[in-house]
């Protein structure tokens, strides 16, 4: 009797264990199936958005203008540039490399690698990445404004992961993986609604239109202009230090550094610097740091803050030129470069 009860008890326990294992297995299967369905639906959704040009760029760092520039570099940019431009939107939007190339009569392979909204320490961080990724760069040009020097914080200097961007540009990291890895519902849904028009309409202020070099032609319609927009600027010494470090770094790598200081909108001078003393002090600091830290001929500073005159209507705001005014600016830059080269 005792033996029979023991056998029945063991049988019942084993049966319950099998039932629990079976329920656990079914649960895991359901979870796995649900995940696969979600991935399949998500992938199909991305493909549908891509087909209609409503798909935002893969979120390399979840910063739209940088991610759009990374997408351009991957799909359309020069793969072996010898001449690259790096900076904020002041570099991105204020350079017509076609005109500059014709003016200089050069065979350089040119690329505009500038995104937007970055500061001097981040510009230096991005420059180091480009020199590692593109080994044949001989010249780096940065078009800078005083705005690029107002905020440099160590906590935000490394604003993207170089390994991720390197793998993405080389095709070792599937673009769709970034959508799942760095997905943010709010910004993704917002970008879906207007990314198509940003890629096609150069008359809106936040256009993402790019030419074959990666520059951002922007001819903002009168109703979309922001006027002066920017207020007064206070220079952060950390940004000046980052500029000096960048000049030294490029010299050590044997790369020529061309700095172009953008002319500010006349209305900005009238409102915030009527005598031009603040901008003159800033430009003098840049020239001094280049002259005292970099060997002669290794770097060039083109200071157009006072010597190059434009009208208010040539600007979309205090630091961004209308695309129609950029060729004249390119001619000015080219003359200065040719003049310097003739003296060397």
Span 296-340, pLDDT tens digits: 767 899 999 987 889 999 999 999 999 999 999 999 999 999 987
**238 and 312 both lie in a single domain:** yes
Residues 247 and 201 in one domain: yes
> Does 318 map to a domain?
yes
Q: In this structure, are 166 and 281 located in the same domain? A: yes
For residue 242, what pLDDT is reported?
97
Q: What is the pLDDT of residue 170?
A: 95
Q: Supply the angle between the helices 162-170 and 120-133 in degrees, to the nearest 10.
A: 40
Q: Is the torsion defined by CA of 65, 287, 82, 161 positive or negative?
A: negative
User: How far is the CA of 263 from the CAs of 34, 218, 273, 314, in angstroms?
Assistant: 57, 17, 13, 11
Please check whether residue 261 is in contact with residue 304, taking contact to mean a CB–CB distance below 8 angstroms: yes
The reply to whether 223 and 308 lie within a common domain is: yes
Residue 59 lies in a domain: no
pLDDT on residue 12? 53
Q: Is residue 56 part of a domain?
A: no
Helix (H) or strand (E) run with residue 84 in it: strand 83-85
- Write down the mean pLDDT value for the chain: 87
CATH number (domain holding residue 259): 3.40.50.1110
State the total domains in the chain. Answer: 2
Asked whether residue 100 falls in the same domain as residue 24, the answer is no
pLDDT number for residue 36: 47
**Residue ranges making up the domain that contains 176:** 64-343
- Say whether both 83 and 34 belong to one domain: no
Q: Are residues 41 and 169 in the same domain?
A: no
Instruction: Please check whether residues 46 and 89 belong to one and the same domain.
Output: no
pLDDT value at residue 342: 65
For residue 154, tell me if it sits in a domain.
yes
Average pLDDT over residues 244-255: 95
- Percent of the chain scoring above 90 in pLDDT: 69
Q: Are 136 and 110 in contact (CB under 8 A)?
A: no
Domain-embedded: residue 316: yes
pLDDT, tens digit, 9 for 90 and up, residues 156-192? 999 999 999 999 999 999 998 898 888 777 778 888 8
Q: Is residue 96 one of the residues assigned to a domain?
A: yes
**pLDDT band (50, 70, 90) for residue 17:** low
Residues 86 and 40 in one domain: no
**pLDDT tens, position by position, 203-213:** 998 899 999 99
Comparison of pLDDT for 309 and 255, the residue scoring more: 255
pLDDT grade for 16, boundaries at 50, 70 and 90: low
Predicted pLDDT at 152:
98
Do 68 and 13 lie in a common domain? no
Q: Are residues 212 and 137 in the same domain?
A: yes
Is the residue at 118 inside a domain?
yes
Please give the Cα distance from 130 to 110 (Å, whole number): 13
Phi, psi of 124 (to 5 degrees): -65, -40
pLDDT tier for residue 9 given thresholds of 50, 70 and 90 = very low
Residues 236-256 as b or e (16 or more Cβ within 10 Å = b)? bebbbebbbebbbbbbeeebb
Q: Do 188 and 291 share a domain, yes or no?
A: yes
The whole-number pLDDT of residue 18 equals: 55
Q: Does 57 fall in a domain?
A: no
């Amino acid at each position: 009797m005792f033996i029979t009860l023991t056998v029945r008890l063991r049988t019942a326990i084993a049966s319950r264990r099998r039932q629990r294992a079976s329920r656990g297995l079914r649960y895991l299967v359901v979870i796995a199936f649900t995940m696969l369905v979600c991935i399949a639906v998500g992938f199909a959704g991305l493909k549908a958005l891509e087909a209609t040009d409503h798909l935002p760029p893969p979120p390399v760092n979840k910063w739209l203008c940088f991610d759009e520039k990374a997408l351009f570099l991957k799909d359309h940019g020069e793969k072996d540039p010898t001449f690259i431009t790096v900076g904020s939107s002041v570099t991105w939007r204020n350079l017509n490399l076609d005109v500059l190339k014709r003016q200089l009569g050069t065979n350089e392979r040119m690329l505009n690698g500038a995104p937007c909204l970055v500061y001097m320490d981040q510009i230096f961080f991005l420059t180091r990445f480009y020199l590692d990724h593109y080994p044949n760069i001989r010249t780096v040009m940065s078009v800078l404004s005083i705005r690029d020097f107002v905020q440099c914080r160590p906590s935000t200097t490394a604003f993207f992961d170089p390994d991720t961007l390197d793998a993405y540009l080389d095709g070792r990291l599937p673009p769709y993986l970034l959508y799942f890895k760095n997905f943010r519902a709010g910004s993704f849904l917002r970008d879906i609604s207007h990314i198509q028009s940003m890629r096609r309409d150069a008359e809106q202020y936040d256009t993402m239109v790019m030419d074959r070099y990666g520059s951002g032609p922007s001819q903002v319609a009168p109703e979309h202009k922001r006027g002066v927009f920017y207020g007064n600027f206070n220079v952060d010494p950390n940004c000046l230090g980052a500029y000096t470090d960048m000049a030294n770094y490029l010299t050590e790598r044997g790369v020529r550094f061309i700095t172009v200081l953008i002319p500010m909108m006349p209305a900005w001078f009238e409102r915030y610097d009527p005598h031009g003393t603040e901008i003159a002090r800033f430009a003098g600091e840049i020239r001094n740091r280049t002259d005292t830290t970099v060997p002669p001929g290794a770097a060039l500073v083109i200071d157009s803050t006072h010597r190059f005159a434009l009208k208010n209507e040539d600007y979309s705001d205090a630091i961004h030129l209308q695309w129609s005014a950029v060729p004249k600016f390119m001619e000015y830059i080219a003359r200065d470069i040719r003049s310097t080269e003739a003296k060397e």
